[in-house]
């Protein structure tokens, strides 16, 4: 699988209102995220999904957004502050080889891994770290762009998620992506 990380400057395009018009984050996430949840979002970029996640978890929930690029997190922080949602976010800068989920063991209710697993150097470690942070029964929504991840590579990601303790619930069609909803056993 490719290990090319999306450049930070592309974050502006990915968080564009035009993209939101074509693909509604709230519609995608609403069936899985409720008020009071702790949600993990690795690779949030500048927050295409993050702000909607913050609205869905409400004032009693939180979104842990982990990225390896400080410029992505800076852009996300500005957008969240402007939207009045910064207090619901836990922004974490991580090294490329780890998610840096210190203090989250067994605390996460739901993880959104959208267009990120194909960018990490070790997908098995990625899923193991997410599993360690997740509560039993926690959901994991895995979405990968078809342009970057072919069907066989997506199946390999699902197998690695399974080895980490995530079982399949449903296959999803998400725009131009391959998707699966998984559940921690």
Mean pLDDT of the chain: 89
- Residues 69, 182, 49, 34, CA torsion sign: negative
Q: How confident is the model at residue 93 (pLDDT cuts 50, 70, 90)?
A: very high
CA–CA separation, 174 vs 129, rounded Å? Answer: 25
> pLDDT > 70: what percent of the chain?
88
Tell me the average pLDDT across 106-132.
95
pLDDT in tens, 130-142: 999 999 999 999 9
Q: What is the mean pLDDT of residues 134-157?
A: 95
Evaluate if residue 11 carries a pLDDT over 70: no
Residue 8 has pLDDT above 80, yes or no: no
Decide if domain 35-184 falls under CATH 3.40.50.300.
no
Residue 47 contacts residue 71 (beta carbons within 8 Å): no
How far apart are the C-alpha atoms of 14 and 157, rounded to whole Å? 23
In this predicted structure, the answer to whether residue 73 has a pLDDT above a threshold of 50 is yes
Other Cβ atoms less than 10 A from the Cβ of 94: the count is 17
Side-chain half-sphere exposure of 130, counting CA atoms within 13 A = 38
Tens of pLDDT along 13-43?
555 554 444 467 888 899 999 999 999 999 9
């Amino acid at each position: 699988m490719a290990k090319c990380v999306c450049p930070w400057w592309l974050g502006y395009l990915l968080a564009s209102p035009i993209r939101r018009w074509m693909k509604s984050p709230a519609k995608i996430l609403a069936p899985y995220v409720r008020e009071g949840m702790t949600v993990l979002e690795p690779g949030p970029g500048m927050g295409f999904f993050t702000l909607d996640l913050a609205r869905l978890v409400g004032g009693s929930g939180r979104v842990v957004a982990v990225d390896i690029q400080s410029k992505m997190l800076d852009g996300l922080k500005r957008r969240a502050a402007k939207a009045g949602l910064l207090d619901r976010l836990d922004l974490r800068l991580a090294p490329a080889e780890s998610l840096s989920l210190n203090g989250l063991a067994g605390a996460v209710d739901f993880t959104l891994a959208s267009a990120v697993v194909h960018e990490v150097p070790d997908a098995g470690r990625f899923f193991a770290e997410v599993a360690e942070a997740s509560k039993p029964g926690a959901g994991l929504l895995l979405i990968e762009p078809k342009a970057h991840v072919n069907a066989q590579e997506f199946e390999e990601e699902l197998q690695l998620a399974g080895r980490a303790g995530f079982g399949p619930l449903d296959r999803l069609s998400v725009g131009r992506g391959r998707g699966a909803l998984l559940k921690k056993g």
